[in-house]
Structure 1
Amino acid sequence: MPTTIDSSVMAPGIQGLFVLDEEGKRIFAQYWTGDCKITGTVKKQKEFEKRASKKTTSMANMADADAISFEGYVLVFKRLGDNSILYVLGDPDENELMLVTVLHAMEESMSSLLRGAMDANSLLSGLANICLCADEIVMDGLIMETDSMLIAGRASMAQSIKQIPIQDQTLQQFANVAKEKLANVFR
């Protein structure tokens, strides 16, 4: 009889990625957890983020990545250019090194795409790039890529494809752009 392997046991999972400014306000957030206490509503997400911000901003040295246990999760975080903070949220039994690897991949690819400007205004103006980086790194909570150069390259290609006139796009490029625009309409 064939043995089935539970993929949730083998594949490292990310429950969320978010960036908050120095006041704990959301710049970017994406969650993949089914936990209703976090993802039930945007209000619950923002309350969770506010609590995370209060807990982590008081920590002395955030020049390096740090990890804490927070409300039943492992929360890895690091201060960006100004006082913005990048967070990676994982299950309580998740390997902290994997979460730190995701954090570094996200930070380095964002820095590359934003040309090193990691202040809150630059992050907001480069929000499309941040979203593309998150999508390249994590899909449905599974880590897909951690090489920051590949991530930045793919994200910048995706941005440049959107700027190609429709008549010059390949059928696949056109389908991807159309799919994305339809998804944005229904959000």
Structure 2
Amino acid sequence: MTSEYSVEAVLLLDKDGKRLFTKYYSPPHGDVQSHEQLQTLTTLKDQQTFEKGLAQKTHRQNGDVIIFDNKVVVYKTVVDVTLYVVGSFEENEVMLYQLVAGIKDALEILLKHSFDKRSVLEHFDLVALAIDEAVDSGVILEIDPVVIASRVTPAPAKESIAYGGVEINEQTISNVYQKWSQRAGKFFS
């Protein structure tokens, strides 16, 4: 039985299976069955064991979806980083695949098409925000990469009004009037 809490974890691992970014989710209000399944991944040691086994299983494979440790795992590898989305055994793998593709494409937009280990570590804040925009507490919020990226990127800086190459708030009234009269004189002559 699927629920709205369809994602158990989002992982970014390097080619050696070491974590770059991991986020594990559990339902907030007592979905006991899936919470019991997650009990095996509550400690750091259990999570790292799971991640290492997952990396070994998917290393040099051509597939996108596997069953690992009684969970559906959908993944995409780009250069030296693999993005994983982990769901319960009953979860819809097509929906999880759309999520992993959306996050991957959003990260490529945000990282300016240099989605690799170095870029992930340098722009960790953007990576974390993008994943948070896509998944919240295990609930899929967004799969469209353009929407995810647009919610993460900062708003453009408010452009100041400049006149003659100098911001208007840095000019005196006489300087503005002088420049205006010079331009107006050229216009009327």
1:104 to 91, 101, 105: 101
Report deviation, 1:44.
Answer: 1.6
* Partner in structure 1 of residue 71 of structure 2: 73
Report deviation, 1:84.
Answer: 1.3
Q: How far, CA to CA, are the matches of 1:10 and 1:86 in structure 2?
A: 23
Name the SS for the 2:153 alignment partner: helix
* Partner in structure 1 of residue 11 of structure 2: 18
Q: How far, CA to CA, are the matches of 1:151 and 1:17 in structure 2?
A: 15
* Structure 1 position 122 matched with structure 2 position 107: no
TM-score w.r.t. the length of structure 1 is: 0.74
Name the SS for the 1:128 alignment partner: helix
Report deviation, 1:27.
Answer: 0.6
* Structure 1 position 150 matched with structure 2 position 147: yes
Mark the runs of 5 or more structure 1 residues left unpaired by the alignment.
1-7, 165-187
Report deviation, 1:127.
Answer: 1.0
Q: How far, CA to CA, are the matches of 2:74 and 2:5 in structure 1?
A: 14
Report deviation, 1:36.
Answer: 1.8
Q: Rg larger in 1 or in 2?
A: 2
Give RMSD over aligned pairs.
Answer: 2.0
CA change 1:37–1:88 in 2 (3 A) is: same
Matched residue pairs, number? 148
Name the SS for the 1:13 alignment partner: coil
Percent identical residues: 32
* Structure 1 position 30 matched with structure 2 position 23: yes
Name the SS for the 1:69 alignment partner: strand
Structure 1, residues 98-120: CA drift from partner, whole Å, max 9, x if none?
A: 00000011001100000000111
Cα pair 2:5 2:137 within 8 Å, conserved:
no
Q: How far, CA to CA, are the matches of 2:56 and 2:18 in structure 1?
A: 11
Q: How far, CA to CA, are the matches of 2:14 and 2:70 in structure 1?
A: 23
Q: How far, CA to CA, are the matches of 2:97 and 2:86 in structure 1?
A: 10
Structure 1, residues 83-140: CA drift from partner, whole Å, max 9, x if none?
A: 2111000010111100000001100110000000011101111111111011111111
Structure 1, residues 53-75: CA drift from partner, whole Å, max 9, x if none?
A: 0000041x26xxx1011101000
Q: How far, CA to CA, are the matches of 2:83 and 2:45 in structure 1?
A: 19
Mark the runs of 5 or more structure 2 residues left unpaired by the alignment.
27-34, 159-189
Cα pair 2:110 2:126 within 8 Å, conserved:
yes
1:41 to 30, 43, 61: 43
Cα pair 2:111 2:123 within 8 Å, conserved:
yes
Structure 1 stretches of at least 4 aligned residues deviating more than 3 Å after TM superposition: none
Cα pair 1:12 1:98 within 8 Å, conserved:
no
Q: How far, CA to CA, are the matches of 2:107 and 2:117 in structure 1?
A: 12
TM-score w.r.t. the length of structure 2 is: 0.73
Q: How far, CA to CA, are the matches of 2:113 and 2:86 in structure 1?
A: 24
